[in-house]
Homo-oligomer: A and B are copies of this chain.
């Protein structure tokens, strides 16, 4: 019974991408739906993936001088309301605690949808002098936003993330921090998740509630929709003035620190699935794969086969995350299951292989098979994992390039938006009116104003006035 469920074909991505996604997250045993709308039971395989993401990001944060803290999940209503834009952005989508035990609270508490105001309240108590700056803090937490429609990882009521919050003496330092952390995210996405991203700035319409500027990394999913994969915000001193966080500067004058925040969430798991997955299921980027190598004994009832498989796994245990599947399921079922789970490398060893001192290594993403001497495996596996990583990255990059279009007239952008999924590059004058018109007529929103600009035309694609910037437009998760 349990076996059948796993090997049943999943919906093909060409037929129904959304259903394919749902099939994959469940059949690869990443999550199950919980009894609370929009909340996940994240299964061991999904949790292990998130832990690998977390550990690598955490190491990168610590290497750039950040420390972790833990702030409460509750925000008193009055605290949330201290910064005007922020409360307007978030109040409509928070969960409210009104009772503790049997007693009604005198002030409602919201479950944090993000923690800017908590960090501000904390910072107000610990910053007095320029010597106390910078404050470079991060926290790993779950937050809650009361979304109308939800999908596992992509949009859930409760989601897991990290949120960095920093205070700096000067605007320049804060801006440099914002940029540094965007680069950390971009490098992590590309070097660790094999996910090519475009770095840029959000338009004012799309920026974070309360931010002066929001920077983003945008990835293109297999179906041509964009995913905001990580963001880094520059706040100026808006929050610090609202929360009366100030310090005695070097010159003895009272000053307000400049602030940033930056976050990456479990949403990135949705991005991994939709960047690399195929009609056999998940394809895990090797560096975060919970299992990097699955060893399958073939004809395992024959003497010495399971022992041989275990010996292979043993020889790799300090080199890769390796597992042997010696269960009594059929080889065909095992192939399908571990492909569904997206394990980068499968090592097959049968009696004849073992006798010859060889095994067959199959790469998940392109099904290439090679025969390797068992004694060479400890040397070969890291090389093959890197090869898989590079292959995934190149494939995703080629796909994105193929799906990136250019438009110079309103008719053209409408026609492309209707017929070709993907990014559309077009010039923009910077006016909200044009941004709104493109949403209405072409059905696309601005994804980002990329740091790497190209001059496609002189005038705004919408109003014809002189263009300020080239913008990536598209549909997004």
- Residue ranges of A at the interface with B (Cβ–Cβ < 8 Å): 1-2, 32, 34-36, 39-44, 46-48, 50-51, 67-76, 79, 92-102, 109, 111, 118, 121-122, 125-126, 128-129, 131-132, 137, 142, 144, 146, 157-158, 160
Question: What is the CA–CA distance of A50 and B35 in the complex, to the nearest angstrom?
Answer: 31
B67 touches A42 (CB 8 A): no
Whether the pair B70, A50 counts as a contact (CB closer than 8 A) is yes
Contact A74 B36 (CB under 8 A): yes
Query: Within 8 Å CB of A42, what residues of B?
Result: 69-71
Asked whether A72 lies within 8 Å of B36 as measured between CB atoms, the reply is: yes
Question: Does the CB pair B100–A97 fall under 8 Å?
Answer: no
Residues of B within 8 A of A109 (CB): 36, 95
Contacts of A75 in B (CB 8 A): 36
Which of A34, A68, A111, A128 has its CB near the most chain B CB atoms (within 10 A)?
A34
Q: How far is the CA of A279 from the CA of B154 in the complex (A)?
A: 51
Q: Considering the chains assembled together, what is the distance between the CA atoms of A118 and B72 in angstroms? A: 22
Cβ-defined contact, A36 with B98, below 8 A: no
Is B73 in contact with A41, judged by CB distance below 8 angstroms? no
CA distance A51 to B2 in the complex (A): 37
Q: Is the CB of A98 within 8 A of B101?
A: no
Q: 19 A-B contacts, Cβ less than 8 Å apart? A: A1-B129, A2-B128, A32-B126, A35-B76, A36-B76, A36-B109, A41-B118, A42-B69, A42-B70, A48-B68, A51-B68, A70-B160, A73-B144, A74-B158, A93-B101, A95-B99, A95-B109, A97-B97, A100-B157
The distance in angstroms between the C-alpha atoms of A47 and B44, with both chains bound, is 25
Are B32 and A72 interface neighbours, CB within 8 A? no
Chain B residues lying within 8 Å of A100, measured Cβ to Cβ, are 94-96, 146, 157
Complex: A80 Cα to B119 Cα, angstroms: 33
Complex Cα distance, B260 from A282, in Å, reads 33
Distance between Cα atoms of A42 and B72 in the complex (Å): 9
CB distance from A299 to the nearest CB of B (A): 22
